[in-house]
C-alpha cells in the first residue's frame, strides 16, 4: 500500500525565499520532493484567490513564504501580505477549511537550512492530516466526471 | 412621520435636494425604497420600525445620481455606509444630505461628514446579538462541521448576485467574478463556484463591511451569508484597531499596515 | 386525448411515490429547506411540502438545470477531442406536487428551445418528464395567473392534475397520453369520479387585475417611453433573482472549466438584468443603464415573445416579486403599463 505523498504548492517571493531555496540546493541539503515552487516578485503580490486555486486543483498543502518583516525588497510588500493572511486565515477557518494545511513563513536568502526545515515539517504535517478530502469533492478535476447527473 | 413629509417637502421646495431616497409602503407587508422628487410624492413617505433596509446602496446608482442632489433617510447602517464610501472617495463631503431618524420620531439633518462621524462615536455599531449567537455557535463547531454547514447553505445558492447588488460596498464596475482573464471565480453555481464566490466576496469586504445585513436580506434563498463578513469584523478590530464606516478619512485596513502587526502562525 | 376523471385517496398518495421510486424513476418535488421551498429529488411523500403556496424557484430545472454539462473535452498533443453530451441519455423523471403555473411555464421554454436550431438537451429532458401538478387551494397577493391566461386549476402543460376535494379524496385529472401511461402504475388505487364534480369550488380566488391583450399592445408601443421604464426601475439593483426563479426565463451563458488535461463546457443560467449581459467585446453596451435592462425584461415577456413565439412569457406566479430584494412587483408594473393611455400605431 503506497504511502500517501502529499502534493504541496509553495508560493514564494523571488528575493528572499526563492533565493533561500536556491541556497538549500547549492548547499546540497536534501529535503522532501513533494513541493512545487512558484516564484512571485513579492509576497505582497500573492492574492488569496491563488491559494484557493491551489487547493481546488489538488494541492493537499500550501506554503507561503517571503522576506522577514523590514527586509522586504519592495519595503512594505510583506507587511501588506501579513495583514491579508491574518484576515484570510480567519475566514478560511470560519468557512470550515483546515488552515493548518497552509504554512506561512519568513525565509531569507541566507536561510537554506530553514527552507528545508519548513518544507520537511510541512510535508510531515500534511502526511498526518491526509489528503485534502473536503476539497477533493469539489475540485476542478472531479467536476462533472461522473455520469452527468444533469437531469436534476 | 408627517414630520418627515414636512421636512422632505421643505428640502425639495427650497432646492436643497433634488431627490430624497426614503421608504414607502410596498407589496404585502414589505417596505420598499422610493425616490421622492416632488411634494406630492413626499406624501407616500413613511418611517416605522419595519423600515430597516440600508438605502445607501442607491447613492451610487447611476440613474439615481443623475436625478440631482441627493437626500437620504439614513439609519445607522446607512450613515456608516456613507462614511465608508466617503473613505473610498465615492462620495464627496456635502454631496449627500442624510436625515437620521431619532427615537422620538424627530429627524436630525446631517449635511457633512464631520457631523456624521461625531454622531457615530456616540452610538452602538456592533452586530446584533442573534447574529453574534450564530457566529459563536459556528465557532464552537469543528472545522469539518463548519465545512458541512457552509456547503449545505451554499447548495441553495443560485449565483443571482443579489447579495452583491444589494451591498453598498460592492460598486466595482467590473466585479472579480466577471473577470474572465483569468476566470478566478467559476460562474457556475456548483459547490466550487459558490464557495469561491462567497469567500472572495467576504475577503473583498473585510475591513469594509458595515454589517447592515442587506446581503442576507436580499438573498432569495435565505442563506446567512452575512455571517462570513461579520465574523471578520472582530479580528480586524482586535488585531488592527480598524472598524469600517466610522470616519470619512479612514484608511482601508488591508491597504495599510503596522510594522509590528501581531500574528501567531508565521514561522 | 379525452380527459379522464378519477378519485384517489389521500392515504394512498404516499404509495404513488413509493411505486415511482421502486421502478427507478427520479421524483422531483417541493420540499422545505428552512425558509425556502426547493424542488429536489425525494424518496417518499414524507418531506414533500404540498401545503406550501408554491416553491421559491420554479420547476424549470427539471429540463433546464441551473448548471448543465454540454460537452466533455480532452487536450491531445495537437488537437482537442470533444464528446458532446448525448441528449438521449436522460432519465424518465416525474415532477410531483408542482403548481399549474410551473406546468404551464414550460410552454414558453418549449417555444424558445423548440425554435430552429432545436435545443435537444432541453427538449429530450422535457419529453422524458411527466408532470403531476396540484391545483392551488390558496393564493397570495403576488399571484396573478388569471390575468395572463392561467389559473389555480389550469391544466395546460400538466400530464396529470390533482385537486383536493375533501379531507379524504383527491380528484385526479388524467390529461395526456404521458399522464395515462404513468397512471397505469397506480390504476388499482383509482376509482372513477362522478362527472359532475366542480373543481372550481376547491380553487383559490385569484382576481383578474389586467387584460393581458391590452398589456401586450401597450407594452409593444412603449419602447420609447423612457420615463415609464425609469420610474419603474429606479429601485432595481440589477441582480438575477427574478430571472432565476422565473418559470419562463431561459437566458443562458456558456463557461468552460478545465485543467491542463481536460475540461467540460457548461451551460448556466444568465439574466438580462445583469449590467454585463449585453456588453460587447468592443466595450459598447447597448443596455448600459438599469432602466434599459428593465424595459428589456418586460418587453421580452410581453412584446417580443407574443409577437415572435405567440406565447406570453409570464405565468403570473409572482415568484419574481417575492424573491426581489427591492420589492419590484411585476403585477403592479404590468397593471400600470396596462392603464396607460397610449397611442397604438
Tell me, yes or no, whether C314 lies in a domain: yes
Q: What is the pLDDT of residue A135?
A: 83
Instruction: Give the separation between CA C82 and CA B198, rounded to whole angstroms.
Output: 32
Q: What is the pLDDT of residue A150?
A: 35
Residue corresponding to grid cell 429529488: C41
3-state helix, strand, coil in chain A (%, to 5): 50, 15, 35
Domain identity same for C103 and C233: no
- What residues contact A149, with CB distance under 8 A and at least 6 apart? none
pLDDT tens per residue across span A39-80 = 999 999 999 999 999 998 889 999 999 999 999 999 999 999
Domain identity same for C193 and C223: no
The DSSP output letter for A40 is: E
Q: For residue C258, give the nearest of A59, B151, A139 by alpha carbon.
A: A139
The DSSP output letter for C120 is: H
Radius of gyration of chain B from Cα atoms? 20
Tell me, yes or no, whether C164 lies in a domain: yes
| Residue A147: pLDDT band with limits 50, 70, 90 | very low
pLDDT tens per residue across span C260-298 = 888 999 999 999 999 999 999 999 999 999 999 999 999
Q: For residue B59, give the nearest of B82, B34, B37 by alpha carbon.
A: B82
Instruction: Identify all chain A residues contacting B238, using CB atoms and an 8 Å cutoff.
Output: none
Instruction: Identify all chain B residues contacting C271, using CB atoms and an 8 Å cutoff.
Output: 160
The DSSP output letter for C266 is: E
pLDDT tens per residue across span C201-251 = 999 999 999 999 999 999 999 999 999 999 999 999 999 999 999 999 999
Residue A99 has pLDDT above 70, yes or no: yes
Q: For residue C171, give the nearest of C145, C199, C152 by alpha carbon.
A: C199
Instruction: Give the separation between CA C293 and CA C297, rounded to whole angstroms.
Output: 6
Residue A148 has pLDDT above 60, yes or no: no
- State the cell numbers at C203: 380553487
| Residue A152: pLDDT band with limits 50, 70, 90 | very low
| Residue C69: pLDDT band with limits 50, 70, 90 | very high
Average pLDDT, chain A: 90
**What residue ranges do the domains of chain A occupy?**
8-142
Q: What is the pLDDT of residue C48?
A: 95
Task: Using 50 as the pLDDT threshold, list the residues of chain B that sit under it.
Answer: none
**Contact criterion met (CB < 8 Å) for C141 and B27:** yes
pLDDT tens per residue across span C312-331 = 999 999 999 999 999 999 99
* C57 SS3 class: coil
Identify which has the larger pLDDT, A141 or B164. Answer: B164
Domain identity same for C171 and C253: no
Residues forming beta bridges with residue C133, ordered by sequence position: C98, C161
- State the cell numbers at C173: 385529472
Residue ranges of C 263-282 with Cβ closer than 8 A to chain B: 266, 268-269, 271, 274, 276
Q: What is the pLDDT of residue A149?
A: 36
| Residue A151: pLDDT band with limits 50, 70, 90 | very low
Are C148 and C314 in contact by the 8 Å Cβ rule? The answer is yes
Domain identity same for C23 and C153: yes
Instruction: Identify all chain B residues contacting C323, using CB atoms and an 8 Å cutoff.
Output: 220
Instruction: Give the separation between CA B121 and CA C148, rounded to whole angstroms.
Output: 54
Domain identity same for C218 and C172: no
Say what percent of chain C tops pLDDT 70. Answer: 99
- What residues contact B234, with CB distance under 8 A and at least 6 apart? none
Are C210 and C297 in contact by the 8 Å Cβ rule? The answer is no
Instruction: Give the separation between CA B195 and CA B202, rounded to whole angstroms.
Output: 11
Domain identity same for C276 and C172: no
**Contact criterion met (CB < 8 Å) for C67 and B188:** yes
Instruction: Give the separation between CA B15 and CA C329, rounded to whole angstroms.
Output: 31
User: Starting from the edge strand earliest in sequence, which strands make up the sheet with A61-66, in order?
Assistant: A35-40, A8-13, A61-66, A102-106
Identify which has the larger pLDDT, A149 or C301. Answer: C301
Q: What is the pLDDT of residue C1?
A: 83
User: Domain A8-142 falls in which CATH fold?
Assistant: Rossmann fold (3.40.50)
Instruction: Give the separation between CA B137 and CA B149, rounded to whole angstroms.
Output: 11
Instruction: Identify all chain C residues contacting B160, using CB atoms and an 8 Å cutoff.
Output: 239-241, 243-244, 271
pLDDT tens per residue across span C70-122 = 999 999 999 999 999 999 999 999 999 999 999 999 999 999 999 999 999 99
Whether ipTM > 0.90 holds is: yes
Tell me, yes or no, whether C130 lies in a domain: yes
CA quadruple A42, A45, A48, A49: dihedral sign = negative
Instruction: Give the separation between CA A137 and CA A92, rounded to whole angstroms.
Output: 17
Total number of domains constituting chain C: 2
Say how many CB pairs under 8 Å bridge A and B.
109
Residue C343 has pLDDT above 80, yes or no: no
> Cα C302 to chain center, whole Å?
16
CB count within 10 Å of CB B6 equals 13
Q: What is the pLDDT of residue A83?
A: 95
| Residue A8: pLDDT band with limits 50, 70, 90 | very high
Residue ranges of B 213-232 with Cβ closer than 8 A to chain A: 228, 231-232
Rounded to 5 degrees, φ, ψ at C252 are: -140, 165
The reply to whether C332 touches chain B by the CB within 8 Å rule is yes
Across the interface, of A70, A105, A138, the residue whose CB is closest to B191 is A138
- Angle, CA B217 vertex, CA B211 and CA B218 arms, to 5°: 115
Instruction: Give the separation between CA B170 and CA B163, rounded to whole angstroms.
Output: 9
Q: What is the pLDDT of residue A57?
A: 85
- State the cell numbers at C59: 420547476
Provide the domain limits for residue C150: 4-202
Tell me, yes or no, whether C345 lies in a domain: no
Cα nearest neighbour of B259 on chain A: A79
**Which chains have at least 3 CB atom pairs separated by less than 8 Å from chain B?**
A, C
| Residue C47: pLDDT band with limits 50, 70, 90 | confident
Across the interface, of B61, B62, B160, the residue whose CB is closest to C239 is B160
Are A101 and A132 in contact by the 8 Å Cβ rule? The answer is yes
Tell me, yes or no, whether C69 lies in a domain: yes
Q: What is the pLDDT of residue B258?
A: 93
Say what percent of chain C tops pLDDT 90. Answer: 93
Cα nearest neighbour of C241 on chain B: B160
Mean of the pLDDT values across residues C169-195?
94
Q: Which of A141, A142, A149, A151 is the mutation pick for testing C, counting most C CBs within 10 A?
A: A151
Given C183, C202, C221, the domain boundary residue is C202
Instruction: Give the separation between CA A136 and CA A58, rounded to whole angstroms.
Output: 7
Instruction: Identify all chain A residues contacting B144, using CB atoms and an 8 Å cutoff.
Output: 96, 134
Distance from CA of C4 to the nearest CA of A (A): 29
Mean of the pLDDT values across residues C20-41?
94
- HSE (side-chain half, CA atoms, 13 Å) at A57: 18
Amino acid at each position: 500500500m503506497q504511502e500517501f505523498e502529499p502534493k504541496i504548492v509553495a508560493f514564494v517571493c523571488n528575493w528572499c525565499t526563492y533565493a533561500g531555496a536556491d541556497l538549500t540546493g547549492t548547499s546540497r541539503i536534501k529535503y522532501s520532493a513533494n513541493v512545487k515552487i512558484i516564484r512571485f516578485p513579492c509576497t505582497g503580490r500573492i492574492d488569496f484567490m491563488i491559494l484557493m486555486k491551489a487547493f481546488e486543483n489538488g494541492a493537499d498543502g500550501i506554503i507561503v513564504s517571503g522576506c522577514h518583516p523590514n527586509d522586504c525588497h519592495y519595503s512594505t510588500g510583506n507587511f501588506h501580505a501579513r495583514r491579508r493572511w491574518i484576515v484570510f486565515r480567519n475566514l478560511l477557518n470560519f468557512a470550515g477549511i483546515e488552515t493548518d494545511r497552509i504554512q506561512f513563513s519568513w525565509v531569507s536568502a541566507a536561510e537554506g537550512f530553514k527552507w528545508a526545515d519548513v518544507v520537511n515539517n510541512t510535508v510531515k504535517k500534511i502526511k498526518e492530516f491526509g489528503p485534502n478530502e473536503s476539497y477533493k469533492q469539489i475540485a476542478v478535476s472531479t467536476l462533472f466526471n461522473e455520469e452527468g447527473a444533469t437531469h436534476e | 412621520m408627517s414630520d418627515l413629509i414636512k421636512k422632505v417637502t421643505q428640502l425639495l421646495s427650497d432646492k436643497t435636494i433634488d431627490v430624497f431616497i426614503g421608504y414607502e409602503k410596498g407589496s404585502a407587508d414589505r417596505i420598499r425604497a422610493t425616490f421622492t422628487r416632488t411634494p406630492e410624492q413626499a406624501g407616500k413617505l413613511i418611517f416605522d420600525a419595519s423600515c430597516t433596509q440600508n438605502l445607501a446602496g442607491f447613492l451610487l446608482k447611476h440613474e439615481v445620481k443623475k436625478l440631482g442632489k441627493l437626500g437620504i433617510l439614513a439609519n445607522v447602517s446607512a450613515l456608516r455606509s456613507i462614511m465608508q464610501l466617503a473613505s473610498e472617495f465615492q462620495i464627496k463631503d456635502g454631496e449627500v444630505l442624510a436625515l437620521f431618524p431619532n427615537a422620538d420620531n424627530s429627524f436630525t439633518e446631517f449635511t457633512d461628514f464631520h457631523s456624521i462621524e461625531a454622531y457615530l462615536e456616540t452610538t452602538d455599531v456592533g452586530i446584533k446579538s442573534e447574529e453574534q449567537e450564530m457566529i459563536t455557535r459556528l465557532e464552537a463547531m469543528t472545522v469539518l462541521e463548519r465545512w458541512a454547514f457552509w456547503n449545505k447553505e451554499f447548495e441553495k445558492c443560485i449565483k443571482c448576485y443579489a447579495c452583491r447588488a444589494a451591498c453598498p460596498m460592492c460598486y466595482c464596475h467590473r466585479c472579480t467574478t466577471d473577470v474572465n482573464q483569468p476566470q478566478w471565480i467559476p460562474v457556475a453555481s456548483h459547490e466550487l463556484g459558490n464557495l469561491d464566490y462567497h469567500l472572495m466576496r467576504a475577503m473583498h469586504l473585510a475591513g469594509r463591511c458595515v454589517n447592515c445585513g442587506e446581503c442576507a436580506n436580499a438573498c432569495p434563498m435565505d442563506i446567512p451569508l452575512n455571517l462570513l463578513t461579520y465574523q471578520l469584523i472582530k479580528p480586524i478590530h482586535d488585531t488592527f484597531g480598524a472598524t469600517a464606516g466610522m470616519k470619512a478619512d479612514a484608511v482601508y485596513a488591508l491597504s495599510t499596515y503596522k510594522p509590528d502587526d501581531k500574528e501567531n502562525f508565521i514561522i | 386525448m379525452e380527459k379522464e376523471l378519477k378519485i384517489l385517496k389521500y392515504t394512498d398518495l404516499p404509495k404513488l411515490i413509493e411505486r415511482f421510486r421502486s421502478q427507478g424513476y427520479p421524483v422531483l418535488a417541493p420540499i422545505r429547506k428552512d425558509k425556502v421551498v426547493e424542488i429536489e429529488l425525494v424518496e417518499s411523500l414524507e418531506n414533500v411540502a404540498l401545503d406550501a403556496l408554491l416553491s421559491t424557484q420554479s420547476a424549470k430545472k427539471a429540463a433546464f438545470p441551473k448548471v448543465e454539462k454540454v460537452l466533455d473535452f480532452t487536450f491531445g498533443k495537437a488537437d482537442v477531442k470533444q464528446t458532446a453530451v448525448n441528449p438521449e441519455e436522460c432519465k424518465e423523471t416525474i415532477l410531483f406536487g408542482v403548481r399549474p403555473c410551473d406546468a404551464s411555464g414550460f410552454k414558453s421554454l418549449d417555444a424558445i428551445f423548440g425554435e430552429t436550431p432545436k435545443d435537444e438537451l432541453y427538449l429530450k429532458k422535457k419529453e422524458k418528464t411527466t408532470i403531476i401538478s396540484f391545483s392551488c387551494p390558496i393564493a397570495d397577493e403576488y399571484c396573478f395567473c388569471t390575468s395572463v391566461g392561467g389559473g389555480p386549476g389550469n391544466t395546460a402543460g400538466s400530464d396529470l392534475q390533482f385537486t383536493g376535494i375533501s379531507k379524504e379524496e383527491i380528484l385526479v385529472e388524467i390529461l395526456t397520453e404521458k399522464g395515462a401511461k404513468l397512471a397505469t402504475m397506480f390504476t388499482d388505487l383509482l376509482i372513477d369520479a362522478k362527472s359532475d364534480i366542480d373543481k372550481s369550488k376547491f380553487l383559490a380566488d385569484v382576481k383578474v387585475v389586467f387584460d393581458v391583450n391590452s398589456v401586450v399592445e401597450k407594452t409593444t408601443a412603449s419602447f420609447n417611453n423612457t420615463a415609464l421604464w425609469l420610474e419603474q426601475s429606479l429601485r432595481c439593483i440589477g441582480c438575477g433573482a427574478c430571472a432565476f426563479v422565473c418559470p419562463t426565463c431561459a437566458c443562458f451563458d456558456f463557461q468552460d472549466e478545465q485543467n491542463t488535461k481536460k475540461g467540460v463546457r457548461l451551460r448556466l443560467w444568465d439574466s438580462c438584468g445583469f449590467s454585463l449581459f449585453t456588453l460587447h467585446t468592443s466595450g459598447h453596451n447597448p443596455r448600459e443603464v438599469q432602466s434599459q435592462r428593465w424595459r428589456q425584461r418586460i418587453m421580452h415577456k410581453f412584446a417580443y415573445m407574443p409577437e415572435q413565439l405567440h406565447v406570453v412569457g409570464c405565468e403570473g406566479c409572482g415568484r419574481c416579486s417575492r424573491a426581489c430584494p427591492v420589492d419590484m412587483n411585476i403585477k403592479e408594473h404590468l397593471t400600470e403599463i396596462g392603464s396607460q393611455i397610449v397611442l397604438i400605431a
